Chain A
């Protein structure tokens, strides 16, 4: 069975500050890892994903995440956040013959002026 732990339910930061949203997973097979973002009153948008290859993956809006197999982590980082980054962020894992996306409970990132 797979599981995902997002250690922080809420992360408040000031605009232009760096941020890290933590995600740890548990799985007995090779995994694919995802970060989804959900803006208020909207659906989920794929932010970035790790399937294979380079362990550092980047999004078009400045976020990046690094797959660390030894620490079973996939933390999301951004060096300088904007107010528009305020949203709920979900880490998710799938893999092997498991068709399911297993989500973490989500982290609410609130960027204050």
Chain B
């Protein structure tokens, strides 16, 4: 099973709202990722968690706050977003972060976020 699930599928929020995106995997993977994808563009890496610890923050604004409560779950908390943050947010996981035979990342279906 190589499934990564994400909820919700769609989210519309105002600039003053607080919302959260959720990602879950049950493959025993210890690395989890958040990507942002704008239309007609490749995904852009935002955060990487390795063994439930934040390993990489690609200079993401603080209005995006990741959280990894356990090895299967990854959240992205959203607060005071801007309209330009509207995008598809993708979660991915891999066995570990980096290394032969473990670099394969499996992606979820994404959350389509619209900020009004």
B28 is an interface residue with CB less than 8 A from chain A: no
Q: How many A-B residue pairs have CB under 8 A?
A: 57
- Residue from B6, B42, B88, B109 within 8 A of A90 (CB atoms): B42
A99-B48 in contact (CB<8A): yes
B74 is an interface residue with CB less than 8 A from chain A: no
Using A49-B104, A99-B56, A100-B45 as known contacts, say yes or no to A43 and B98 having CB atoms under 8 A apart.
Answer: no
B66 is an interface residue with CB less than 8 A from chain A: no
Bound: A96/B101 CA distance, A = 11
- Residue from B2, B6, B42, B112 within 8 A of A105 (CB atoms): B42
Using A100-B45, A105-B41 as known contacts, say yes or no to A43 and B90 having CB atoms under 8 A apart.
Answer: yes
User: B residues within 8 A CB of A98?
Assistant: 98
B76-116 at interface with A (beta carbon < 8 Å): 88, 90, 92, 97-98, 100-101, 103-110, 112
B98-A99 in contact (CB<8A): yes
A63 is an interface residue with CB less than 8 A from chain B: no
A72 → chain B closest CB, angstroms: 18
* A residues neighboring B (CB under 8 Å): 32, 34, 36, 41-46, 49, 51-52, 90, 94-101, 103-106
28 A-B pairs whose Cβ atoms sit less than 8 Å apart in the complex: A32-B100, A32-B104, A41-B112, A42-B109, A42-B110, A43-B107, A43-B109, A43-B110, A44-B43, A46-B104, A46-B106, A46-B107, A49-B104, A51-B101, A51-B104, A94-B103, A96-B98, A97-B98, A98-B98, A99-B31, A99-B48, A99-B55, A101-B45, A101-B105, A103-B43, A104-B42, A105-B42, A106-B41
* B residues neighboring A (CB under 8 Å): 2, 6, 31, 40-43, 45, 48, 55-56, 88, 90, 92, 97-98, 100-101, 103-110, 112
